[in-house]
Chain A
């Protein structure tokens, strides 16, 4: 009994070995990956520039014009109009609505998903209704949402919530349903039951799937903010894009799009970092 187990741990990361063998003499894999990731969008920007110049269109600005607009949006001092140096106001307003709706979807979607996934009674009662409501496009809720919540930020939060709710709910249900039944049996025989079972077994076991849902839902949340801010709110990146459209300021439209893309990208990286930390027990779920 005192002998130390002689078998080697089965799972040893081979990432380092693979990295070492493919190492270039002058480029580390990390730098190489970064360059590759930058090369493609850079090529797209160059293509965009020449397409605008060659076609001579006045409807689409060049990347440079968008860059100037971005500078003005962030720092001001170029156009000195209603949009100069207002990025903070608009970004903050949109972030509040996106994260508000997103957080609401998590708070309602995850517990509901755990219940529907684990309790047959809940599934029988709620699943048909939810499946019926799910195919309705979130944008179709816009008129009703304006009646319920008025013309304002609450309507936007509601739409973001609706869009983020289903990916979270469905992935949570799927996560619970795909847990090995024996884990529940093992927990039960070790004296775990009731609400403790939800906290200690159901939730952590469904976590990989829940994180999938969170990443999907977060993407939908940013998509829907533009729709949500079409409901007549004066601030927010969605309203900036809508104003830009009305004023035929395509440089403003594209600037708003880029800010949304970057903000969404950064938040996604943060969710991914959290994912890798929470799921450090399961390397195959790392992004």
Chain B
């Protein structure tokens, strides 16, 4: 990165013409219909939409857990064919390894790479500190609150040097106060590490608070409705007038579509 102008900028993540069909019994369900999306390195993108709009499906395809029926996902112009350590998923219900304590969960990725014990310990300490869980390093997941579990899940993928953090409604199961503090912590981690984040949510407020870009998806079949750049200065204030204008605008796009869809179902 000595002279970024000298090299042509490579695309970070491209989703090209991705479709996904599921077979349920004899029926085929279109979960995604030709989704195109480009994300630059370091961006914070929120995917938002009603249930069933395919936002989680898209996230799982980017993670490599599911294969697209058609189209392609590429990272640094290399096609994605399966899960890889450059992409880290943070699940809504944490998916921590319950038989490992906090330290072992966070060090799981580094341990797979054949590093020395000292290197693993150094990385683990760093990320334990980043999420403020040093005192809880020896606890098992069942001894942690939801917010603490999600901090471990974030630290676990960051310690694995992931460049793209995929978050599937990560704060959806948390109470409002914990959610707020985790949103702030996530923004701090993002600013500090420069990691790229794709964050699935169905809270408009959360999306506007966090994202550089809000990608609105609609259902039946799932596709991208609009892609809105959020120009609000950071740190953002939920009660500010301009914040509320953006929030109202996005909410309208979401609800108008839901109403339209209801009418067509009735007809």
Contact = CB atoms under 8 A, between A and B. Distances in A.
Interface of A: 1-5, 7-11, 180, 182-183, 185-192, 196, 201, 204-205, 207, 279-283
A191 B85 CA distance: 6
A2 B192 CA distance: 14
Interface in B168-207: 178, 181, 185, 188-189
Contacts of A196: 112
B156 interface: yes
Given A4-B135, A5-B145, A188 B82 contact: yes
B22 to A, nearest CB: 16
Given A8-B145, A188-B82, A190-B109, 14 more contacts: A5-B145, A7-B145, A7-B148, A9-B139, A11-B143, A182-B91, A186-B97, A186-B156, A189-B63, A189-B83, A189-B160, A190-B156, A191-B109, A281-B98
B130 A1 contact: yes
7 closest pairs, A vs B, by CB? A7-B145, A191-B112, A182-B95, A190-B109, A188-B83, A189-B83, A191-B85
Chain A interface SS verdict (over half): loop
Given A189-B83, A191-B109, A282 B142 contact: yes
B155 to A, nearest CB: 11
B147 interface: yes
A191 B113 contact: yes
A43 to B, nearest CB: 40
Contacts of A10: 143-146
B88 to A, nearest CB: 6
Interface in B115-151: 130-133, 135-136, 139-148, 151
Contacts of B82: 188
Given A11-B142, A190-B157, A282 B132 contact: no
A58 to B, nearest CB: 58
